[in-house]
């Protein structure tokens, strides 16, 4: 598996593709960071491997593989593995037109009857480097007010933040390619951000915001390194050196600004293998506080039933002593969000007693929230990571 034009790196961003200094992947996540997430990739590696295994044989047929063939054999299985119910037209629409005058997009993915993600397909043999395809895809999504879209030929996937400010190529968030067995875990992490569960919890928005800030800081830092004022700052601390000596030294130096891999902190979660994704009742989709959605994937190309993992609720976490009453929680990445745990179902926020979900919804302004991946303890662990310490008897059928 490779990633764009940067061999040896699984993720290729716009910044690394266009940087004048040695390409470095911009990221922000670390095990100690409050942004660390166990949101789950949402795409089973086994499903991704099955898709990747089809690619060599298809490539041998060259241009005979049409866009429709590409969608049927490579793209639709990936969409399904991401937990989207391809048989439910309220969740997945093909050749969707937001308005009568709009061009159709190949896949429109819906939550609560609103489109949240567009996927535009091209034939397997078609390169995605032609800017027409990027502009076409962004145009479709922008016209419908959809914030996220992906452009893919079944092998390469490019993910865009549609409503971000700036030129079109600055909207590219990540690129992955799945043409080899290496790095399938990493590909699953990135594509998993487009899973139904993660789009519902808006996990990708948090990653984009931090990445967007880090990219700008990186660019400014690289400019500062070439600024005369930087040499002057060194001169103040190295008083025995002249400015001329410092300038020559800086020209010899190879200084690069880098961040950790932004996707490294996403921990894949165990998957249930099924041909059709499990349906969650509408009431649970809107406020999944004590019911955990199960991501789905493909296994051996056929439908199968598997034991469902029951992770602890907030009630369970309090009862087990993993979430003591009085613990202060915050919503990841949100200032002024601190709340105190009152019991297994409620927190105190600014003098008010709220359910965990009501608190998260008030902080984010979102109509629904995946509280287990958004609420963090003072040490940076999420509620979801507390539940990963599940006891053996937490496995149920």
Residue 342 in any domain: the answer is: yes
Please indicate, yes or no, whether residues 272 and 152 belong to a single structural domain of this protein. yes
Pair 172, 87: CB distance under 8 Å: no
Residue 397 in any domain: the answer is: no
Residue 184 in any domain: the answer is: yes
CA–CA separation, 143 and 149 (whole Å): 12
* Helix-then-strand count for the chain, H and E: 15, 15
Please indicate, yes or no, whether residues 352 and 219 belong to a single structural domain of this protein. no
Phi and psi, residue 322, nearest 5°:
-80, -25
The pLDDT tens digits for 326-374 are 999 999 878 899 999 999 999 999 999 999 989 988 888 776 677 887 8
CATH code for position 228: 3.90.1570.30
Domain boundary among 255, 287, 306: 306
Residue 314 in any domain: the answer is: yes
Q: Tell me what pLDDT residue 182 has.
A: 67
Q: Which residues lie across from 347 on neighbouring strands?
A: 341, 354
Please indicate, yes or no, whether residues 215 and 327 belong to a single structural domain of this protein. no
The pLDDT tens digits for 190-215 are 899 999 988 988 888 888 887 778 87
Residue 396 in any domain: the answer is: no
Phi and psi, residue 32, nearest 5°:
-95, -5
Residue 372 in any domain: the answer is: yes
Q: Which residues contact 395 (CB under 8 A, 6 or more apart)?
A: 307, 309, 310
Please indicate, yes or no, whether residues 117 and 234 belong to a single structural domain of this protein. yes
* DSSP H or E segment with residue 2: none
Please indicate, yes or no, whether residues 106 and 59 belong to a single structural domain of this protein. yes
**How many degrees, rounded to 5, is the angle at CA 41 between CA 331 and CA 47?**
165
What is the tally of structural domains in the chain?
A: 2
Please indicate, yes or no, whether residues 85 and 164 belong to a single structural domain of this protein. yes
Residue 281 in any domain: the answer is: yes
Pair 148, 119: CB distance under 8 Å: no
**In which domain, by residue range, is 108 found?**
1-306
Please indicate, yes or no, whether residues 143 and 70 belong to a single structural domain of this protein. yes
Pair 30, 36: CB distance under 8 Å: yes
Please indicate, yes or no, whether residues 50 and 143 belong to a single structural domain of this protein. yes
Domain boundary among 270, 290, 306: 306
CA–CA separation, 188 and 184 (whole Å): 6
CATH code for position 343: 3.10.390
Domain boundary among 306, 322, 342: 306
pTM metric for this prediction: 0.56
Please indicate, yes or no, whether residues 21 and 150 belong to a single structural domain of this protein. yes
Please indicate, yes or no, whether residues 143 and 226 belong to a single structural domain of this protein. yes
Length of the chain: 397
Phi and psi, residue 276, nearest 5°:
-115, 135
Please indicate, yes or no, whether residues 272 and 333 belong to a single structural domain of this protein. no
Residue 30 in any domain: the answer is: yes
Pair 16, 175: CB distance under 8 Å: no
CA–CA separation, 366 and 208 (whole Å): 17
Please indicate, yes or no, whether residues 226 and 344 belong to a single structural domain of this protein. no
DSSP 32: T
* Block mean pLDDT (10 aa), the chain, length 397: 33 35 28 34 73 91 90 95 93 92 92 94 93 92 92 95 87 87 78 90 83 81 82 88 89 77 55 40 37 31 39 83 92 89 94 91 78 85 74 40
């Amino acid at each position: 598996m490779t990633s764009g034009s940067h061999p040896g790196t699984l993720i290729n961003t716009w910044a690394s593709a266009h940087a004048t200094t040695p390409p470095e992947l911009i990221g922000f996540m670390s095990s100690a960071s409050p942004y660390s997430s166990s949101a789950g990739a949402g795409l089973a590696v086994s499903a991704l491997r099955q898709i990747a295994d089809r690619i060599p044989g298809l490539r041998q047929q060259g241009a005979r593989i049409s866009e429709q063939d590409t969608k049927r054999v490579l793209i639709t299985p990936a969409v399904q593995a991401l937990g989207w119910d391809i048989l439910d037209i309220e969740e997945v629409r093909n050749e969707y037109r937001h308005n009568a005058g709009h061009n159709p997009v190949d896949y429109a993915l819906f939550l609560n009857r609103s489109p949240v993600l567009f996927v535009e397909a091209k034939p397997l043999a078609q390169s995605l480097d032609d800017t027409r395809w990027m502009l076409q895809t962004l145009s479709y999504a922008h016209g419908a007010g959809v914030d996220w879209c992906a452009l893919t030929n079944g092998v390469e996937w490019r993910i865009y933040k549609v409503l971000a400010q700036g030129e079109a190529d600055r909207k590219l968030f990540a690129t992955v390619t799945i043409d080899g067995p290496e790095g399938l875990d990493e590909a699953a992490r990135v594509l998993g951000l487009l899973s139904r569960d993660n789009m519902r919890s808006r996990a990708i928005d948090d990653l984009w915001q931090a990445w967007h800030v880090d990219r700008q800081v990186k660019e400014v830092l690289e400019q500062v390194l070439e600024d005369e004022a930087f040499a002057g700052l060194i001169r103040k601390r190295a008083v025995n050196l002249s400015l001329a000596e410092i300038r020559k030294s800086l020209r010899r130096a190879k200084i690069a600004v880098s961040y950790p891999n932004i996707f490294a902190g996403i921990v894949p979660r165990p998957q249930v293998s099924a041909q059709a994704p499990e349906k969650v009742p509408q009431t649970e989709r809107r406020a999944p506080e004590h019911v955990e959605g199960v991501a789905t994937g493909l296994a051996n190309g056929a439908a199968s039933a598997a034991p469902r993992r029951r992770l602890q609720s907030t009630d369970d976490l309090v009862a087990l002593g993993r979430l003591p009453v009085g613990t202060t929680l915050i919503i990841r990445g949100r200032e002024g969000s601190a709340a105190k745990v009152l019991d297994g179902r409620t927190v105190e926020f600014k003098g008010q007693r709220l359910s965990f979900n009501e608190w998260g919804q008030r902080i984010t302004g979102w109509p629904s929230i995946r509280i287990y991946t958004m609420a963090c303890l003072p040490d940076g662990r999420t509620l979801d990571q507390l539940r990963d310490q599940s006891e053996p008897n937490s496995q149920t059928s």
